[in-house]
A and B are shown apart, each in its own frame.
Chain A
Amino acid sequence: MVVDCPETEAELAERIAAAAGPLAINGGGTQGVTVDGNPVSTRAMAGLELYEPGALTMVARAGTPVVEIADALARENQQLAFEPRDLRGLTGTSGEPTIGGVFATNTSGPRRVQAGAARDFLLGIRFVDGAGQVAKNGGRVMKNVTGYDLVKLMAGAHGTLGVLTEVSFKVLPKPECTGVVRIVGLADDRAVAAMSRALGSPYDVTGAAHLMGGADGAAVTLIRVEGFAESVRYRAGELQKRLSEYGESTVETDAELAAAAWKRVRDVEPFHDRLGAVWRISVKPTDAPAVLARLQPDGAVLDWGGGLIWALVPDGRDVRAAMNGIAGHATLIRGTGFPRFQPEPGPVAALSAGLRAQFDPRGILNPGLMG
């Protein structure tokens, strides 16, 4: 099907206002989402509008490729601190991830535990709602409580309340150095306990992940600290002491090796070449071992200290039923047989449905995707 790629916000607004039926909204189309409707992409609305390194802020049109943003930031030694995941390898897609897509899906990587999620960095938006009206919310300053925070509401709404056309966001300096404390062979519950110990320390841990052991190797637990070199050395050393009861640990400070290890976690690389359904499960960290015990997955990557579980299970396995009684939720990222998003309890679902009816009265923006 031909993808409609409006080049301006005004053009997009016209297209949406004139739409006779459902629209499948996307950026680069890398999330593996399928929705019935005429495909509309924001990718032709691209380019940086403003970048002030001294104010840690950038404004970009929604279709700007993430790689272009990362390059511009790298030239000033800055970065997107929430570490957006690149899900192409996992979803088998080949598009170019866009900054609008990242924020519309609130895609946040390992540093979420310390720095916050994509939604925490989003300062302002412009969007077109389901009636074709253009509105803005927030701005480009770090603190803003002027009226309701629709910025957060739109972040993670997957285009169902409106299509983002411009985003302004906070960026942060790139750390000078990274240190990774690595422990091999921990069982899931011990790994979560070790990660909790690290995250509950004063050492400003910016990543805590556990790659479950299995046929292709032993389990590996990774704890990350970042900053100036001497500080990283000090904190990694203190963490080693604090984690000594969990067995021997090593510290990796080679920049490339450390980056590769965290990219593997961020992009869930262990599942790239493996068959099966992939679920993204969000729970409180100490519930992670119980979830894994119930699911008996073929593979698991625990991020966010155990608060985020990427589980590889046979297609058709009902992960939500297995989680019954454990607070949290599961999203089907790759696979069939279930809605992508976990249905919400009645009163919350009613509010969400009410919001969709207000922002998209004809129900044409990614209909059915979120309920």
Chain B
Amino acid sequence: MEMPTPDPAVLSKKAQLIDRLLTVLPEDAVIHDVMETRVYECDALTAYKCPPLLAVLPATTQEVSDVLKICHDMSVPVVPRGSGTSLAGGALPTADSVILGVARMNAVLETDYENRVIRVQSGRTNLSVSGAVEEEDFFYAPDPSSQLACAIAGNIAMNSGGAHCLKYGVTTNNLLGVTMVLMDGTVVEIGGAHLDSAGLDLLGVVCGSEGQLGVVTEATLRILHKPEGARPVLMGFKSNEVAGACVSDIIKSGILPVAIEFMDRPCIRACEAFAGAGYPDCEALLIVEVEGSEAEIASQLSKITDIARRHDPVELREAQDAEEAARIWLGRKSAFGAMGQINDYMCLDGTIPVSSLPFVLRRIGELSKQFGIAVGNVFHAGDGNMHPLILFDANKPGDLETCEAFGAEVLKLCVEAGGCLTGEHGVGVEKRDLMMHQYTETDLAAQVAVKDVFDPNWLLNPAKVFPLAITETRRAPPVAAE
């Protein structure tokens, strides 16, 4: 994976940059010691590391604006960072960049149950947004697996999803407004507590722009009352095809479960060995969860199990109580840990039309044999969001490269099947060089044109999302003096 060569002109300005930043930030908010900047050398895509020039931790929108203005003046690239949980390298620095972390901005600014919104600073973690409204039995719906750690800023940058977005949508469907600072320091207010935009839907394009358009410092989010209850059912099937057909039939029946999770045999076995959740030994397993009152849950589950029975299940287990529900989820929730126990893994998130599930799973199996690399599949089946976990050994020379080549083939397969490269993790650096498989140069030019408007000098997170060749002339050119 290639990153741009650090600009020597920027590297040589480090001392001057620190001096200027210290005029707007307290001393402990400017991290420039070479050892300390290592904390920011990577995110959750740990295969790639590079310490930044320095890191800053502003505490207010004004401080963010001041920092950006200085970096803009001095033509220093800035990489915004939430909690650093990106699986796509969204917060991976370059040696000539400043990491702008929003972790110190984590306050709840306003909780408004009547209008069902909460306003928070963007460094607040996803789970603690729900935590702030729990006393009134409300919650914030998007629930990425990293929700304990990941920040709202990162959720907005990547338009994060989660297991329950089949019913509740992803970040963009639950975001109503932001305060955002542009690279030149301009503070803009987009949206608010009302439900739509006065003009162009700028919020729609800001969400998912991977920190390339501005730094979001505050957000207004939709909150919902919790359902009265929720309960899963577990079903085992003889083949991926049959499980796929069952998913399709459930969806067509008019029931909208909050989650439909799918695991294939390699994943089931790994989870069983790791967590001992009592999963059946079968080719494919579905966990379907529904919500409502006791009676509503019972009635929906009986409709779902009726459908499942038509597909000759090898196992059908309805949770009778909270403990059994927890046990059904236990294996699924430990899937990543279970696979990690076996080896290092790379997690992809290509998304496909639900109808292509059996075909894509079959092809992934064939590719796994061809590359000689093991893979387990666990994913959000209701919306076709795959999560192949590809195993490799980081200590074995060449294994990472083979794994990446395998991963690239899987993602191309997703695109060929009518899907996309990434459903919820983002492009970052990981899928940057595959973009031309999904989009033409004209398609990408339309996206690049948006960044030209928000950040004309291409200083914000510049080496991400788009193949480097496409953005080369736009990214701040090295100063002539070199």
Interface residue ranges, A against B (CB under 8 Å): 52-57, 76-77, 106, 108, 112-113, 116-117, 119-120, 129, 133-137, 139-153, 155-157, 160-161, 172-176, 193, 196, 199-202, 204, 228, 230-231, 234, 282-286, 304, 307-308, 327-329, 331, 341-342, 344-345, 347-349, 351-352, 354-355, 357-359, 370-371
Contacts and interface: CB of A to CB of B under 8 A. Distances in A.
A160 to B, nearest CB: 8
Contact of B420 (A144, A156, A202): A144
A59 B280 CA distance: 39
Nearest to A161: B200
Contact of B465 (A56, A147, A351): A147
B204 A196 contact: no
B209 interface: yes
Contacts of B396: none
A140 to B, nearest CB: 6
A117 B201 CA distance: 12
Given A148-B205, A156-B200, A157-B201, A345 B114 contact: no
B188 A348 contact: yes
B431 interface: yes
A55 B384 contact: yes
A358 B447 contact: no
B385 A143 contact: yes
Nearest to B385: A143
B188 A351 contact: yes
B208 A142 contact: no
B444 interface: yes
Given A140-B353, A157-B200, A200-B113, A148 B188 contact: no
B226 A77 contact: no
Nearest to B192: A327
A196 B115 CA distance: 7
A60 to B, nearest CB: 16
B199 A371 contact: yes
A146 B254 contact: no
B306 to A, nearest CB: 13
A143 B424 contact: yes
A347 B187 contact: yes
Interface in B143-167: 158-159, 161, 165-166
Interface string B445-466: 1110111111000000000011
Contacts of A117: 195-196
B325 interface: no
Contacts of A136: 439-440, 443
A56 B251 contact: yes
Interface stretch (B29-37, B293-301, B314-322): B293-301
B115 A152 contact: no
Contact of A55 (B207, B208, B228, B354): B354
B173 interface: yes
B431 A148 contact: no
A370 B204 contact: no
**CB-CB nearest 5 A-B residue pairs:** A152-B204, A54-B248, A142-B383, A329-B198, A143-B423
Given A152-B201, A328-B194, A355-B200, A146 B420 contact: yes
B361 interface: no
B216 interface: no
Contact of A282 (B196, B202, B299): B196
Contact of A348 (B166, B189, B204, B440): B189
B427 interface: yes
Contacts of B278: none
Contacts of A202: 137, 225-228
Contact of A129 (B187, B208, B446): B446
Contacts of B60: none
B158 A173 contact: no
B100 to A, nearest CB: 20
Given A143-B351, A234-B295, A282-B194, 18 more contacts: A56-B354, A77-B254, A142-B385, A149-B208, A152-B201, A152-B207, A173-B251, A200-B114, A228-B296, A231-B295, A231-B296, A286-B112, A286-B115, A307-B115, A327-B192, A341-B198, A348-B188, A371-B199
A253 B296 CA distance: 18
A5 B423 CA distance: 36
B200 A284 contact: no
A230 B200 contact: no
B383 A141 contact: yes
Which one of A56, A77, A136, A351 has the greatest number of beta carbons of chain B within 10 Å?
A: A351
Contacts of B108: none
Contacts of B170: 143
B438 interface: yes
B256 interface: yes
B97 interface: no
Given A153-B450, A234-B295, A54 B249 contact: yes
Interface string B75-118: 00000000000000000000000000000000000001111110
B169 A120 contact: yes
A64 to B, nearest CB: 20
A135 B256 CA distance: 33
Contacts of A204: 227, 292
19 contacts: A52-B355, A133-B445, A135-B440, A143-B424, A145-B422, A145-B425, A146-B422, A148-B209, A149-B207, A160-B200, A174-B254, A202-B225, A202-B227, A231-B299, A284-B192, A286-B115, A329-B198, A347-B182, A354-B454
B190 interface: yes
Contacts of B310: none
A328 B192 contact: yes
Given A201-B225, A230-B299, A135 B418 contact: no
Contacts of B190: 348
A145 B199 contact: no
A283 B191 CA distance: 10
A6 to B, nearest CB: 19
Nearest to B297: A231
Contact of A141 (B169, B296, B420, B427): B420
Contacts of B187: 347
Contact of B114 (A139, A141, A196): A196
B335 interface: no
A352 B226 CA distance: 37
Nearest to A326: B194
A139 B420 contact: yes
